Each structure stands twice: as C-alpha cells, then as structure tokens.
Structure 1
Amino acid sequence: MTVIEEAAPVLRPHAEQQFAHELAQLAKDDDRPRPPGWLLSPQAVVTYLLGDDSIGITAKYVGPRRLMEVAVATLATDRALLLLGVPGTAKTWVSEHLTAAISGDSTLLVQGTAGTPEEAIRYGWNYAKLLSEGPSRSALVPSPVYRAMALGTIARVEELTRVPSDVQDTLITILSEKTLPIPELGEEIQARKGFNVIATANDRDRGVNELSSALRRRFNTVVLPVPESVEDEVSIVTQRVASLGRSLELPPVPAAEEEIRRVVTIFRELRSGVTSDGKTKLKSPSGTLSTAEAISVLTNGLALAAHFGDGILRPGDVAAGIIGAVVKDPGADDVIWREYLETVVRERDGWKQFYRAARENSR
C-alpha cells in the first residue's frame, strides 16, 4: 500500500474558500456600517450576491435585487430567515453565499431529513464520557446551531420542512429567547451578537411537514421564484455549467449556448404547460424540471461531448439527460414526453437533429 503524500484538491470548495478573493476585496473597500459580528456591511453583502463587473465581483444570484435586500436586512435584525421556493430555485446556493459573506463560515449546517433528531439542532452527548464522568461540558457534543450561538455566527438548516414537527419546534426558544437551555447541567448558552439562522424549505416534494404557526412567526419568509425570463435562466445555467466544468476539470466545450437555450426552453415549456409562443397547451410531467436539473443535464452533456464526442456540445449529448429529467414516472411522463416530441419538437426549425436523438434515446 502506498501513502498519499499530498491530498487531492477538494471537489467543491465552500463559498468562502472559492470566492475568498472577492470577499477580501469587498471587505477592504467596505466603509459602510456593519452589524455586530458581520464581516461585511449589508450593502456589500448584496453586491457580493448580485455581482458588480466594474470591481470584478461575479454574480452568485440572478434575480430581483429587492429579494436579496430583504433577505440581508432580515439577518441584520433579530428575526431568522426562511428561504422558500420550489426545488431548484437556488435556496441552498443563496443560503451558503449569504452565510459566507456575513460570517465567513458556511459549514455550520443541519441537513434536514425525516430522521433528523433533536440533538442535531440542540446538542448531543459523548456517551463514553457521559457514562464515566456523568453530565459535563466535556461530555456535551454541540450541534451546528449551538456552535453558531456561541460564536455569534449564522447557522444553516436545510430542508426544514423535512424535519419532524416536534424536532422543528426545538428552534422556537432558540429563535425567540436567543438561549439554549441545558437542563442536564443546570445551565444555558446565550447567543452572541451576530447569531442568526437561515433555513430553506419547499412545499412541493413528498415528505413535507408543515411548520407550526409559532415557528413560522420566528422567521421572515423570502420566496425565491423560478427565473422570470428565458434570458435570466440561460444566464444562470451558462454561469453554473461553466463553473462546474472548471471544478470537475472538464475540457472546455465551445459553442454550447445553442444547446443551453434548447434545454432551458424545453424545461420552461413543460414546466408552464404551454409553448413559448403561447399557441400550444402542453401536459406537465410529474417532476419539477428546475434550473438545477437543467444545469445537471448540461454538465453531463458537456462531459459526453468532451470525452466521447468531438468537443462540441451537440443535441445528442443532451437528449438522454433531458429524458431522464422529464420522465420520472415512466407510466405517465413517457406519454407526455413523446407527445411533446411529436407535436412541438418535430415541427420546430433547427431542432431536427435533437428530435432524432431524442427519439432514438426514447426507445
């Protein structure tokens, strides 16, 4: 067995690592007031999210500026932030970048699932120490939320509505009183200035648990919409595909815009139930056909073109991925997809090659 002397580069750096130079530049030039515990002013945080070409800051979010201003302003108060939206509307992406810009550490994360225990939000115990010395600070295992309270930073809770309702409600005292009781020790942890919580949630997927009214009142909710226009969605997908391609060290594939626009158009039409010209009504498949799924389809196509094609992203490179994204329920979605192919794709100018590739992959 050989020893690996140098670790391989990480596959996906955290936002504060990947964009460290941008955050450092903004902090250097930022002369506006900063809330306690913040690394940047609210205005600089919004600039980081939306980008500014004049100073070399790339856009992390393409959408209404006001939404980001409301989100950042919420975190400057004592209210927590809930990012709500259908799957694929960049909730996690925005959450990570908000936390990176404000706290410089986006890793204090609770991933919500149906099996998330109360300890993931409050604290747990090192049972070896607990048995040997009883309840003590050294035996306590702090959760990400506990650590964020102690450090005065932001904690993230992903997919809050997937967490069981009784576990969700452990956040109520934390968010309202800014304290976390530790009855086993007769103590409590009080949050330092700068502490807050960003949660994400959607109400489209299965396994959703509604938030109690008491918990919902502790959040200010910002709804992230699907991209308003084709151009906005094409811009988002183009940027993310290029970024993922660099991260995965895929060879660059030129002239991909035509296929990006094709995938986005298909997803938007099937999502909305009508063609882009408004002339033909369509049946929508069971999947969400989100922007994130479009990015995945195109990244896979980019890999096919680079490694198994001629270096140019062609319709055949994306056809199989699109079918996999659209046909989630083979019984119902396959019929919807074939109908779309025959009534829309087949008649569209410049789409013949894609039509043939999609027909071939649909067999």
Structure 2
Amino acid sequence: MTASTELAPADGVPAVLRPHAEVAFAAELEALEAFDAEEGRPRPPRWRLSPWSVVTYLVGGTLADGTVVSAKYIGSRRLMEVAVATLTTDRALLLLGLPGTAKSWVSEHLAAAVSGDSTLLVQGTSGTAEESIRYGWNYARLLAEGPTPEALVPSPVMVGMERGALTRVEELTRIPSDVQDALITVLSEKVLPVPELGREVAARPGFNVIATANDRDKGVNDLSSALRRRFNTVVLPLPTDVEDEVRIVTTRVADLTASLSLPPVSTAAEEIERVVTVFRELRAGVTADGRTAVRSPTATLSAAEAISVVTNGIALAAHFGDGVLRPADVASGIVGAVVKDPVADAQAWQEYLDVVVRERPGWGAFYEACRDST
C-alpha cells in the first residue's frame, strides 16, 4: 500500500486506524530531508536523513524555514543522540527499559527517519522461530522444485540486509535463546549464510538492527554474552517529572482520539494530570510532597497505561456522558490498571484511597468514583 492511499480519507475518516510513522509524519520527514540538502549535512550510506535531523525528528524543534517538527520522544536529547550515533557504527542498538517507556515507539520512528521504512519487524514471542530471523521456505515450491531462490522466503532481517535498511526486533528477550543466537553471525559477520543454495546474503551499508527489551521480564538475563556484546544498550527511563509525563500523555491521547474519531471532550487536562499524579505516586511509593509513604502495586503504571485510561474515559464521556470528562469516567480504568493482583493490589489501592485520595482537597468526586468502581 502506498503512502498516499494509506492516508486517503473516506468521508473524513482515515483509511487505516494507525498509519506507519513514515506515512503519518511524511511532511516532517520531507522538510528535514530538504533541510539537510540546504545545509549540506552529511548522511551515512542509504540514510534518508542526517544523524542530526534524525534526532531532531525524534525530540522536536523548529527548522530555519519555520517548519515545526513535533516531539515523538519527550526526554533527554542526549539519550537519542547516543542511540542514533550507535546506528552509524557496526554495533546494533538495544533499547532497554520498563514497560511503557516508549521503546517500540522510538524504534519505529528511528527506522522511519533513517530508512524511510519502519515495517521490517520481527515480533518477539516465546513462539518466534528461527525462520523469523534467518529465512523460511515456501514448502509447496520446495517440494516441487527443491531449494531454489524462488522457494526461499526471506525474513525481515534478510530483507534489511539486502536493502541496507534498519530491521526492528521487538521484545528480544522473549525470543528463545537458541533463536536469539541466530543474530550473532548477522551482527558480527554482516552475512547470512544460505547453505541450501550454496550462497550467502551480505549486508549492504545502512543495515543495522534495533532491538527492544523489557528489563522487568525474567528473560532479560537470557541474552548470551556473545549476543550482548554485539549491542550497545540505551536505557530509556521513566519520565523524570510530572510535567513531562503529563505532556506525553496529553500528546498521545490527542493523537489517539483523532485517529479513533472520538468526539472532543472538555476538562481532559485536569483528569490527565490526576491520572498521572496517581500513577507516579503509586510507582514511587510516596506522595508527590514526600510526606506520606504508600504501598506500590505490582502493576507498572506507565505512561502507556495512563494514555489507555484517559482514552477510555474520553470514550465514556463522549458516547455515554455529556461530553465532559469527569472523575467517574477515568475511575474504572484506573482501578483496572492498578489492581492486577486481586488481593495484594486491591489492599494497596484501598489504602491509597483512604490515606491519600480521601484527604486531598478537590479530589472528593474522584474518591467516591473510585470507591464505587472497586
């Protein structure tokens, strides 16, 4: 599907629910590409943008011609510079962090800005097979013709090597160890042997791998030392302050409500700040003023979960309410996000409601809504 058809509206409704990054932000990428040409900024082989423009695309900024580039990652610019610099070398990039720290989001936008294509993706699960990293076969043709180039089914990694493009591997540590190790030859030798055809695929300049991993998973330590050495690890932290987290949630909620064609609601800013405050306090185990210790639940309570809670609340307010986002609209979503363990989490949440929320000025309606939803 082409970029033009992917975004073609039908009666004002986007053709797809979530266009790829290179399609959704095509205008920004084109502006940055033109900026590179005017400034004469050097680009590595087969990169669409210069490393400076890739970072600007991620963290946002205003170009000399007045073009505003939106921020895709709200956090340290230096962290993004380290990630982009890694991709200019022969080292692969591992984005590591807690759930909801934008690892997949950053991975997708890096691939869009560097290669103009974020779709070369291996989704890691416990059932991911070696064929997803190496190659597979069209078995009907294999049986009829034997091993031929036409019967071979290339993996996203092989396609990335042939094109000189970035390949993404999501949730690397969820992939079985023996399958993970199929990457070792690719990352160290930059070749992928195909012994059945008596040949090998050599990576073209521009090829590299961006992997993501969740450092809360038990499997995070299962990377072999040989594979770990092939990666430069960049740890994506949780937002450092409430303003950054509110900005992240607000931006993504606006994007989601637009793509879902949800009617606009009022007072969303107040409820977003409330949800973010609750999540941050429960994560930290202490209230924002540092005066009251609280029990942390087992849930991660990331910005991604806050986005989901607020978006669900907006849907309730828009379709079943009066168009005003109220505490009752987000209460059930918060309870569902916090209480994962029906015993320990429920107790921690009840204590937080009684000790913190009930005593907080202006939070009475939220307290009652949460009590009713528990």
TM-score (norm 2): 0.94
CA–CA distance in 2 between the matches of 1:316 and 1:356? 8
Residue identity opposite 1:47 in structure 2: T
CA–CA distance in 1 between the matches of 2:177 and 2:225? 11
Residues 1:144 and 2:156 are matched in the alignment: yes
Give the CA deviation at 1:185: 1.0
Pairing partner for 1:220 from 212, 220, 232: 232
**Aligned residue for 2:5?**
none
**Aligned residue for 2:43?**
34
**Aligned residue for 2:108?**
96
Deviation larger for 318-327 or 305-314: 305-314
**Aligned residue for 2:4?**
none
Residue identity opposite 2:321 in structure 1: G
Residue 104 of structure 2 aligns to a residue in which SS? helix
CA–CA distance in 1 between the matches of 2:197 and 2:116? 31
Residue identity opposite 1:29 in structure 2: F
Residue identity opposite 2:244 in structure 1: D
Q: Deviations over 1:152-189 (max 9, x none)?
A: 00000000000000000000000000000001111100
**Aligned residue for 2:123?**
111
Residues 1:51 and 2:60 are matched in the alignment: yes
Residue 193 of structure 2 aligns to a residue in which SS? strand
Residue 184 of structure 1 aligns to a residue in which SS? helix
After superposition, residues 187-266 of structure 1 pair within 5 angstroms as 187-205=199-217, 208=220, 210-266=222-278
Pairing partner for 1:323 from 335, 344, 358: 335
**Aligned residue for 2:96?**
84
Residue identity opposite 1:339 in structure 2: E
Q: Deviations over 1:88-108 (max 9, x none)?
A: 000000000000000000000
Structure 1 10/91 Cα, relative in aligned 2: closer, same or farther at 3 Å? same
**Aligned residue for 2:298?**
286
Residue 69 of structure 2 aligns to a residue in which SS? coil
Residue identity opposite 1:11 in structure 2: L
CA contact (8 A) 1:51 1:58 kept: yes
Residue identity opposite 1:92 in structure 2: S
Residue identity opposite 1:154 in structure 2: L
Q: Deviations over 1:32-67 (max 9, x none)?
A: 000001000000001100111452110000000100
Deviation larger for 279-288 or 92-101: 279-288
Pairing partner for 1:267 from 256, 279, 282: 279
- Taking only aligned residues, the RMSD between alpha carbons, in angstroms, comes to 1.2
Residue identity opposite 1:123 in structure 2: Y
Residue identity opposite 1:278 in structure 2: G
CA contact (8 A) 2:193 2:199 kept: yes
Gaps (5+ residues) in structure 2? 1-9
Residues 1:61 and 2:73 are matched in the alignment: yes
Give the CA deviation at 1:205: 3.1
| Percentage of pairs with the same residue | 71
CA contact (8 A) 1:162 1:209 kept: no
Residue identity opposite 2:84 in structure 1: V
CA–CA distance in 1 between the matches of 2:219 and 2:183? 20
Deviation larger for 205-214 or 79-88: 205-214
**Aligned residue for 1:22?**
28
CA contact (8 A) 1:165 1:209 kept: no
CA contact (8 A) 1:84 1:222 kept: yes
CA contact (8 A) 2:120 2:166 kept: yes
CA–CA distance in 2 between the matches of 1:32 and 1:15? 23
Residue identity opposite 1:37 in structure 2: R
Residues 1:167 and 2:184 are matched in the alignment: no
CA contact (8 A) 1:86 1:203 kept: yes
**Aligned residue for 1:300?**
312
Residue identity opposite 2:152 in structure 1: L
CA–CA distance in 2 between the matches of 1:16 and 1:296? 24
**Aligned residue for 2:15?**
9
**Aligned residue for 1:3?**
none
CA–CA distance in 2 between the matches of 1:229 and 1:331? 30
Q: Deviations over 1:285-344 (max 9, x none)?
A: 111111100000000001111111111111000000000000001111111111100000
TM-score (norm 1): 0.97
CA–CA distance in 2 between the matches of 1:236 and 1:168? 32
